[in-house]
Amino acid sequence: MTNVYRPATPPQPVLNAGRLWAGGAATALVAALIAVVGILFGRGVFDVEVLAPKGDGVWGDASTFWYALGAGIAALLATALIQLLILTTPRPMRFFGWVIGLATVAAMLAPFVTDESTASRWYTAGLNLVLGIAIGTLVSGVAKSALRPPLPQPGVGRPVPPPTPPQYR
């Protein structure tokens, strides 16, 4: 008698959403700190006008706060995106990589449409690159750690044993 196979549908990995969002919140904090440190570094060490004129000093104006807040929000949006992709698409990490990569390129090009100095444009583009890389790598790493292999389903994709004949005495 031949073995009969039940149809095997690939089981979906289990997403630990709490772990994903805890990592997303930590990524938001890291991104905000990268923005603040990057602005302080650019203004203090290189004397580059990053988001504010030199007259505003190393700490700059309110735009430093908004830039850091924007970086944190971008990390939270990336977390929401990866959760949506995990739940709805095949190969979610590949799509996430493309979206983050293209968003990073757009963020790098954005300073070049302003009237700021050339040094400020290049520095801001570099800072946006660092932020994009940090957010992309941290969120994808957190997402991978938040995915657990699916629990094995008994009998799925395995041979079904033939029925045992009745025992006669």
Q: One digit per residue, pLDDT tens: the chain, 169 residues? A: 555 555 556 667 789 999 999 999 999 999 999 999 999 999 889 888 876 555 555 555 558 888 999 999 999 999 999 999 999 999 999 999 999 999 999 999 998 998 888 998 999 999 999 999 999 999 999 999 999 887 766 655 556 566 777 676 6
**What CA–CA distance (Å, rounded) separates 42 from 134?**
18
pLDDT score, position 78:
98
Contact (Cβ atoms closer than 8 angstroms) between residue 131 and residue 74: yes
Q: Where are the domains of the chain?
A: 35-148
Sign, CA dihedral 118-120-123-125, equals: negative
Distance of CA 11 to the CA centre of its chain: 24
CB burial class (10 A; 0-12, 13-18, 19+) of residue 143?
Answer: buried
